[in-house]
């Protein structure tokens, strides 16, 4: 008869063997699933073909001289309306007497990209165009000969002003495909986040670069086409100002206008044929009073 000690050892050995067998045959429990990353919301395709700014000017010939001779645009006719064309932008000139400049309204500046800023500024000065680079540029920039620079960066810019007080920011890009082209429309909304979100949803734009107190939206293939800086004080809408409205040539203007109306915008002028522009158009307003003309079929 085995001793008590031997029986105990035998039981222990059998228990260890059984545990080993179970460890070899028992399935490994599945690892808990990893938390799924939130799916990115796909951005809607932008319906915008090119941007527009509508200017109310006292003298059409003088305005064309500035935009064509000074800035290098091409004079064209948009229907019966005088206009100046740049890659990505159409500047439409309407004769009239504006009740105020762009500053103080919800759209403060139109910006262009140039290959040779020094040459452009020289041409503008030769044409007696007023330069307001220091007044319209953040104090972190150094300004010399009406050209602003940041010493430790490659940012070079200047600001010209039309007789009707529309500021035109010129930003140098020596690698640009064209000598001068559209860069962005600069908004000064009374509230930033709401305005950015509204324009993103309305036009299928995506969040772009941000810094130095501004944020931007990419519009189609145009990076940072819509720029936003919080208004420093009370602002008014663009109606009646020298930059009276912005605009976009779009696909599906009537449908887009209804979408904008459903987002808190207003249809100011119903969709129809514009005899002045020779195209179908509708004028809407964003919730902060910026007039926007949506054209479809504008031929240049």
Q: Among candidates 101, 69, 67, which has minimal Cα distance to 86?
A: 67
Asked whether residue 262 carries a pLDDT value surpassing 60, the answer given is yes
When pLDDT is averaged across residues 235-240 and rounded to a whole number, the result is: 97
- Other Cβ atoms less than 10 A from the Cβ of 292: the count is 25
Q: What is the pLDDT of residue 154?
A: 72
Structure tokens of 79? 């229907």
- Report which of residues 31 and 272 the model is more confident about: 272
Q: Dihedral angle at the C-alpha atoms of 254, 258, 263, 266, nearest 10 degrees?
A: 80
Taking only the tens place, the pLDDT of each residue in 162-192 is 999 999 999 999 999 999 999 999 999 999 9
**Helix boundaries (H) for 163-252:** 192-203
Query: What is the distance between the alpha carbons of residues 251 and 255, in angstroms, rounded to a whole number?
Result: 9
**Which neighbouring-strand residues pair with 272?**
281
Asked whether residue 267 carries a pLDDT value surpassing 50, the answer given is yes
When pLDDT is averaged across residues 208-218 and rounded to a whole number, the result is: 82
Taking only the tens place, the pLDDT of each residue in 84-118 is 999 999 999 999 999 999 999 999 899 999 999 99
Is this model's pTM higher than 0.85 or not? no
Q: How confident is the model at residue 36 (pLDDT cuts 50, 70, 90)?
A: very low
Asked whether residue 34 carries a pLDDT value surpassing 70, the answer given is no
């Amino acid at each position: 008869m085995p001793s008590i000690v031997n029986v105990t050892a035998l039981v222990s050995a059998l228990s260890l063997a059984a545990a080993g067998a179970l460890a070899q045959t028992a399935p490994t429990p599945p690892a808990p699933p990893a938390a799924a990353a939130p799916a990115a919301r796909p951005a809607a395709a932008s319906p915008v073909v090119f941007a527009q700014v509508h200017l109310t000017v006292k003298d059409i010939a003088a305005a064309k001289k500035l935009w064509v001779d000074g800035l290098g645009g091409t004079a064209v006719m948009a229907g019966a309306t005088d206009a100046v064309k740049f890659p990505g932008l159409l500047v439409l000139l309407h004769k009239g007497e504006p009740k105020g400049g762009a500053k103080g309204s919800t759209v403060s500046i139109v910006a262009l990209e140039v290959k040779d800023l020094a040459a452009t500024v020289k041409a503008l000065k030769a044409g007696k165009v007023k330069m307001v680079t220091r007044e319209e540029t953040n104090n972190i920039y150094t300004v010399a000969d009406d050209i602003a620079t940041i010493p430790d960066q490659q940012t070079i810019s200047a600001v010209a002003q039309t007789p009707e007080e529309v500021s035109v920011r010129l930003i140098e890009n020596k690698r640009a495909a064209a000598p001068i082209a559209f860069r962005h429309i600069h908004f000064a909304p009374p509230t930033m986040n709401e305005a950015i979100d509204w324009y993103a949803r309305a036009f299928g734009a995506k969040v772009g670069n941000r810094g130095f107190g501004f944020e931007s939206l990419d519009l189609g293939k145009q990076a940072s086409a819509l720029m936003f800086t919080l208004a420093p004080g009370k602002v008014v809408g663009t109606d009646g100002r020298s930059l009276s409205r912005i605009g976009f040539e779009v696909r599906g203007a009537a449908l887009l206008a209804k979408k904008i109306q459903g987002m808190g915008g207003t249809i100011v002028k119903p969709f129809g044929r514009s005899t002045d522009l020779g195209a179908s158009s509708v004028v809407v307003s964003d919730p902060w009073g910026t007039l926007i003309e949506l054209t479809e079929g504008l031929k240049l």
